[in-house]
Amino acid sequence: MGRVCVIGSINMDVVMEVKRAPAAGEVIIARQVKTNPGGKGENAAIALAKLGVDTAWFGCVGNDAYGDTLMENLKKYPLDASWVRRADVGTGIAYIIVEESGENRMIVYAGANEAITAKDIQNICRPMIAESELVLIQLEIAREAICEIVRVCNELGKRLVVDAGPAHGWSAKDLSGAWLVSPNETELSTLAGRQLTSREEILAGARELLAAGIGHVIVKLGDQGSVYVSGGTVIEVPAFPVHAIDTVAAGDSYMAGLCKCLSEGMEIGPAMEYAGKCGAVAVTRTGAVSSLPCAEDIARFEDFLVR
């Protein structure tokens, strides 16, 4: 198993649990408010470490109390976070509304995540990338940094996996050269520039990403599973029946499971099944980092299934 390098966001999540999300102009009383470590980059890095993967992570936090808390939290997990940088701006914050059904809505303040520069990628991350079997990123850090990561991975011949969220402001062409891109249904619509809902439309959207210069595409479809498209190959993997209470970090868990398997040389179909199990475990728990599965959870996955 090779090392996986994760470059991405780290936030403090402010989670509000409600019966349902408010309509415009409506006031809803929250049942509970909690703060938890989060951010798609940190979530994925910790999930990889909990799954037993040799993981290196780079991100940026602010010189504030939230930054102190997040740095202290990273010490709990077996990953290399020695690369993390601190900036003189506020730490990223994600405000998350979690409905009784388990669905969630987020508003994110990027903060220090936007302080990551192309120079950071060259000076700090390039050695990390060079030593890794696989590189995983998301779209929650500065655009110039993401573009530089794509360039460096291509230059070094490294497989770059992009969890394509949030996709606002991005197009398929922007991610050209990535080895694998994985959007959810909403993100795929954004990258394609139009609404995609049916199976045929989703497959067509995925093929547009391939035509833009992306090697492989996996579309995450929540409780409908996931679909892989590359060349003439289409692989569809159904979701697992579990009792979902909170979908926060489910996609991050899926990507961690996928990257674990790919770093071990597993074929894409079995890798997607393992990734689906990781995402399924996450939705049975609340919070972001607190919901991430460990290797033992996946080994006893039958215990999580609804019968």
| DSSP per residue, 207-266 | HHHHHTT-SEEEEE-GGG-EEEEETTEEEEEPPP-B--S--TTHHHHHHHHHHHHHHTT-
Cα–Cα distance between 182 and 252 in angstroms, integer? 11
CA distance to 43, 112, 114, per residue, from 89 (Å) = 21, 6, 10
163 part of the active site: no
CB 21 within 8 A of CB 105: yes
Cα–Cα distance between 301 and 294 in angstroms, integer? 11
Burial category of 188 from C-beta neighbours within 10 Å (exposed 0-12, middle 13-18, buried 19 and up): buried
Alpha-carbon torsion (239, 244, 250, 253), positive or negative? negative
Cα–Cα distance between 12 and 94 in angstroms, integer? 6
Which one of 88, 252, 297, 303 is the catalytic residue?
252
Catalytic residue numbers read: 252
